[in-house]
């Protein structure tokens, strides 16, 4: 138990270090990295039949999708921001539906869509912020 607490504290310090002083663009990149990792953990949880891991991954992914949506600037982003808001709402609905049916299919679809957006976001690094 002590080992787990120490590991969690170490991970938190590492995350704090990544975020401290990061640009707005970099913060969104970090969110995408964490989102994809959470989806991977949820998919692994399904594969190894670990419902707790699956649930933890899905829950964290939902929080991150909500954060990404909340970070949208509709004034400056125009139609792109509106399109992303629709995509994030779709992702949120898919994540909620994993508790009902087809969890692997839904998580895989969300991961593919978010990975594509993540790559596009990374490709514009240095051009925005």
Closest CA to 36 of 72, 73, 65, 66: 65
Contact 66, 81 (CB under 8 A): no
DSSP 3-state assignment of 95? Answer: helix
How much of the chain is in helix, strand and coil states, percent to nearest 5?
A: 85, 0, 15
Q: What is the mean pLDDT of the chain?
A: 85
74: its two tokens: 């509709």
Spell out the domain ranges in the chain. Answer: 24-123
- Report the C-alpha gap between 106 and 13 in whole angstroms: 32
Band (17; pLDDT cuts 50, 70, 90): very low
Contact 15, 7 (CB under 8 A): no
Greater confidence (67 vs 9) lies with 67
- Write down the pLDDT at residue 26: 87
- Write down the pLDDT at residue 34: 96
DSSP 3-state assignment of 123? Answer: helix
Per-residue pLDDT reduced to its tens digit, 66-91? 999 999 999 988 999 999 999 999 99
24-123 topology per CATH: 1.20.120
Contact 56, 41 (CB under 8 A): yes
Contact 47, 57 (CB under 8 A): no
pTM beyond 0.75: the answer is: yes
Per-residue pLDDT reduced to its tens digit, 80-129? 999 999 999 999 999 999 988 999 999 999 999 999 999 999 998 766 55
């Amino acid at each position: 138990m002590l080992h787990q607490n120490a590991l969690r504290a170490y991970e938190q310090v590492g995350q704090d270090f990544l975020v401290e002083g990061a640009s707005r663009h970099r913060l969104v990149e970090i969110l995408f990295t964490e989102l994809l990792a959470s989806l991977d953990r949820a998919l692994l949880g399904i594969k190894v039949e670990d419902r707790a891991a699956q649930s933890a991954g899905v829950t964290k992914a939902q929080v991150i999708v909500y954060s990404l949506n909340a970070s949208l600037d509709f004034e400056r982003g125009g139609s792109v921001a509106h399109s992303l808001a629709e995509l994030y709402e779709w992702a949120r609905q898919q994540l909620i539906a994993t508790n009902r049916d087809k969890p692997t299919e839904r998580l895989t679809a969300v991961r593919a869509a978010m990975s594509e957006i993540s790559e596009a976001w990374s490709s514009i690094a240095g051009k925005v912020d």
